[in-house]
Structure 1
Amino acid sequence: MKRPPLGGKFATLLTATGIGNLADGLLLTGAPLLAASLTRSPLLVSLVTAMASLPWLIFALHAGALADRRDRKKIIVALAWTRAALLLSAAIAAVAGVAPLPLLYVVVFLAGISEVFSDVSSQSLIPLVVTRAQLTSANSRLTAVQNAANSFLAAPLAGVLIGFGAFCVFGIAGFLFTLSALVLIRLRGSFRADRPEKTTVRADIAQGISFLVHHRLLRSVAVLSGTLNLAFTAYFSIFVLWASGPGSEIELTPPEYGVLLVTLAVGSVMGAFLAEFLVLRLGETMLILGGPSAISLLLLVPWIVPYVQAVAPTFVLLAICLGATNVALVSMRQRLIPPELLGRVNSSYRLIGMGTVPLGALVGGAIGSATNLETVFVSAVVIALSGVLAAAASVSPRRILAAEIP
């Protein structure tokens, strides 16, 4: 049976998302490579990831309140312009010779603030663009495009641009955010949640937190996401030192490292496209719990077999699991949360899910500096599997069905 088209509004959102994620990918892939070219300290390199993700701890709840109060499309457009101005200014500062490592920390932190508000509004916008029955299909396509742009295109491009200097990474990313804003402006209509009552920002935030805290299923999955992100960020925040540069185990050059990251993009895109099929065949619960379990075990391969011939196919499999699991999680959240609360509950959920990312980066850097990179890898696997075991007691098909909003 042929699925109904998702419509022109979704196509516009999809295009703008792809361009914006290409910009995001250039910054997120390029920043650690820039740091690794300036220092071989695991702590200083991991600090880039920590600074980029720290805004989730500080601003996530306010981002959710804003998304439920204002037009979500206008928020995303305004923040695309903001990041464009920031990165183009950073490119000029890099040409002027501003201290490279401190500049890098400042840029990723400020860009991270915009990302928090933009991402929360973006996930809350999707249910206003497509029907409830189309959510899994829409999220599948969005995730595929995000992953393709973020890693498949951005990773090798960042590896090449590094050779020309930081100003190239910042400048191209700034241009792409400008283009993303221009495309999204074409999305017509009002995208503000229907909220007849007027409340304070503090009350809004409290309502979002309360809904999540008292919702056993969402709470358990949020803790699972936080645990997984802590483990995976600890692992990947120092992986560049294992794989790239003189004296590393795999000894890849920056362009080669960018190509290796493309395998993650390939797998993520495949996983996103396969998500709908896998949910139907395996069930949502199996995907939500089985996917992270498989990812955790696959993380051991680069340590046990530190050769690119083994790591590349492993990353493809790992990313297939990750891409499919992410689609299932996002689609489930959108079905379980009332539309008028979507921004606030999403932000509370992501405060837990993404708030552990800076902690994970610092933990990875600290353990790597105090011991060795191998210890970081094993610790990450143990933490991730512990999170899956804890969530298994609360996640079941019966609980998901019972919790869905009519």
Structure 2
Amino acid sequence: MRRVIEAVVPARMGVPFRWMLASSWTSNIGDGIALAAGPLLVASQTDSAFLVALAAMLQRLPWLLFGLWAGALADRLDRRRVVVVANLLRAAVVTLLVAVIATGHVSIELVLLAMLLMGTAEVFADTTSQTLLPMLVPTNDLGTGNARLQAGFLTANQLVGPPVGAALFALGTAWPFAVQVVTALLAVLLIARMTLPAVPPPAEPTRVRQDIVDGLRWTWTNPPVRTLALVMLSFNITWAAPWGVLVLYSLDHLHMGPVGYGLLTTSAAVGGLVGTVLYGRLERRFALSTLMKVCLSLEVLFHLVLALTETGWVAMVVLFVFGAYGFVWGTVANTVRHRAVPTRYQGRVGSLYMMSLFGGIVVGNALGGVIAQHWGLTAPFWFGFVGAALTLALVWRQLAHVAHAQAD
């Protein structure tokens, strides 16, 4: 057992990292449960496609509304305390939701309000959480730390949580959300045990708006960090355009049926698990710039092959490869950012990256729907292929500087 623990969380990374990792994995179980139970709850209250879509949007909208503010506060306040308070507030909202469900007073309006409030708390919790790793582990261990965090997200949030959430919902509408409250409180207890090094206060008192402007200015004037943010925005647009119509692509173009669509998404998740196993070896053997170039090149090919294929098993292989390189890319991108951004800017720059992520997804989904409506289900994949290829060609030479940038 000790050997397993040492392999997963090496002692050299410190006890605080173990507390943070345990908290992250626990929280991801609850979030994964809600990932399935949330849409089921919305669907149980309305058959309106607009309201179902609105519920999903309300959980992402706070990133665009409060992301910059969350980043500034993460850089101003005690980061551990911010994470604890934000997660307690999220637990409180879910507790109230459980209460109204149990008493039979639930309505679509209350569910939508709960989605918005939970999404808002998530912005502050997640923005601040991502600043903790660079404070806890040495620079050389950032890749390992990010890989462990990503593995927890993939396993707990994407694989284990959703089927558990669906099963609990079948037992009783309130059960999955009650379990989510328990996991959130346990995650708070774990993170509260962690100790953080002190962050030096600014030389002069500042205002939040000034901090936001300073963060934007620092990001824009730092070429590697700016380039990585723009790459993330662009590639999320080109990825989300076809991904938003993947279900129709699998049903009407590949004729795989509902089970086949499930196999596509499962293939991606299994590929991600393979990526978790291989990442350590890849990082030791190859430069981060090489990994970035390979992952982005595979992303270009991902769109091209899916645009051309009419065979379900080929699509499953492509989704498997996508899951593997997607995990590697996400880990490398986080590691590069953590290395390149000084501690005092981690919150603000991290929030910009999250806004690039979700902003790109929103724009890409909208474009994908319009493109598919006018030019067919493979058209979004051609859009993704051309857009990703052009972006990669523009940044190819800069990736070496991006991958090995260091904080001042």
TM-score range, shorter chain: 0.7 to 0.9
Q: Is the 8 A contact 1:77 1:185 kept in 2?
A: yes
- Give distance in 2, aligned partners of 1:97 and 1:238: 35
Distance 2:248 2:373 in 1: 11
Tell me how far 1:316 sits from its aligned partner: 2.4
Contact 1:94 1:166 in 2 (8 A): yes
Correspondence list, 1:358-369, <5 A: 358-368=362-372
Shift of 1:49: 4.2
Aligned residue number for residue 326 of structure 1? 330
The answer to which of 344-353 and 136-145 deviates more is 344-353
Q: By how many angstroms is 1:278 displaced?
A: 2.0
Aligned to 2:344: 340
2:246 aligned partner, one-letter code: F
> C-alpha deviations, 1:290-319, integer Å up to 9, x for none?
213313433566663463x44444322111
Percent sequence identity over aligned pairs: 27
How far is the alpha carbon of 1:326 from its aligned partner?
Answer: 1.1
Q: Which residue of 2 is the match for residue 376 of structure 1?
A: 380
What are the superposed Cα offsets for residues 100-140 of structure 1, whole Å, 9 maximum, x if unpaired?
A: 4x655444433222222122211111111112222111111
Q: How many residues align?
A: 396
Match runs of 1:169-180 below 5 Å: 169-180=176-187
Which residue is 1:395 aligned to? 399
Which amino acid is the alignment partner of residue 391 of structure 1? V
**Partner Cα separation in structure 2 for residue 33 and residue 302 of structure 1:** 30
Contact 1:27/1:170, CA 8 A, preserved across alignment? yes
Residue 200 (1) aligns with residue 207 (2): yes
Per-residue CA deviation, residues 311-363 of structure 1 (Å, 9 max, x unaligned), is 44432211110111111111111111111222122223333333322333333
Contact 1:263 1:312 in 2 (8 A): yes
Instruction: Verify: 1:279 aligned to 2:283, yes or no.
Output: yes
| 1:69/1:193 contact within 8 Å kept | no
Q: 1:149 aligns with which of 156, 159, 167?
A: 156
Q: Distance in 1 between matches of 2:142 and 2:300?
A: 27
1:205 shift after superposition: 0.8
For residues 2-401 of structure 1, what are the structure 2 equivalents within 5 Å? 5-31=12-38, 47-94=54-101, 96=104, 98-100=106-108, 105-161=112-168, 163=170, 167-187=174-194, 189-190=195-196, 192-197=198-203, 198-242=205-249, 249-252=255-258, 261-299=265-303, 304-305=309-310, 307=312, 309-368=313-372, 372-396=376-400, 398=401, 400-401=403-404
Write the distance in 1 (CA, Å) between the matches of 2:129 and 2:345: 14
> In structure 1, how many angstroms separate the alpha carbons of the residues matched to 2:239 and 2:48?
20
Contact 2:225 2:337 (C-alpha < 8 Å) held by counterparts: yes
> Counterparts of 1:235 and 1:54 in 2: how far apart (Å)?
21
| Higher deviation after alignment, 220-229 or 89-98 | 89-98
- Aligned residue for 1:394, secondary structure, equals helix
User: Which has the higher mean CA deviation after the structures are superposed, 366-375 or 334-343?
Assistant: 366-375
**Does residue 404 of structure 2 align to residue 405 of structure 1?**
no
Q: Could you tell me the TM-score, scaled by structure 1's length?
A: 0.84
Cα distance, 1:382 vs structure 2: 3.4
Query: Cα 1:209–1:82, aligned 2, differ >3 Å: closer, same or farther?
Result: same
Post-superposition CA distance 1:233-257 (Å, at most 9, x none): 333334345558x99943226xx86
Shift of 1:392: 1.9
Q: Distance in 2 between matches of 1:90 and 1:180?
A: 19
8 A contact 2:30–2:180 mirrored in 1:
yes
Asked whether the 8 Å contact 1:216–1:394 carries over to 2, the reply is no
Aligned to 2:4: none
Q: Distance in 2 between matches of 1:30 and 1:382?
A: 37
Give the whole-Å Cα distance in 2 for the aligned partners of 1:388 and 1:13.
35
Shift of 1:67: 0.8
Shift in Å at residue 63 of structure 1? 1.0
Gap regions ≥5 residues in structure 1 = none
Q: Distance in 2 between matches of 1:369 and 1:165?
A: 38
Q: Per the alignment, do residues 22 and 230 of structure 1 end up closer, same or farther by CA in structure 2, a change over 3 Å counting?
A: farther
- Paired AA for residue 224 in structure 2: L
Measure how far apart 1:191 and its partner are.
Answer: 5.1
Partners of 1:371 and 1:29 in 2: CA distance: 32
- What is the alpha-carbon distance in structure 2 between the residues aligned to residue 104 and residue 375 of structure 1? 35
Q: CA deviation digits over 1:249-284, x for unaligned, max 9?
A: 43226xx86675444333223324433432343321
Give the match's secondary structure for 2:391: helix
C-alpha distance in 1, partners of 2:94/2:344? 33
Gaps of at least 5 residues in structure 2 are 1-6
Displacement of 1:215: 1.0
User: CA offset at residue 57 of structure 1?
Assistant: 1.4
- The change in CA–CA distance for 1:381 and 1:169 in structure 2 (over 3 A counts) is farther
Cα 1:224–1:185 change in 2 (3 A) is same
CA 24–154 in structure 1, closer or farther in 2 if over 3 Å, else same: same
1:69 CA displacement: 1.1
Instruction: Check whether the contact 1:292–1:388 (CA below 8 A) recurs between aligned residues.
Output: yes
Q: TM-score, normalised to structure 2's length? A: 0.83
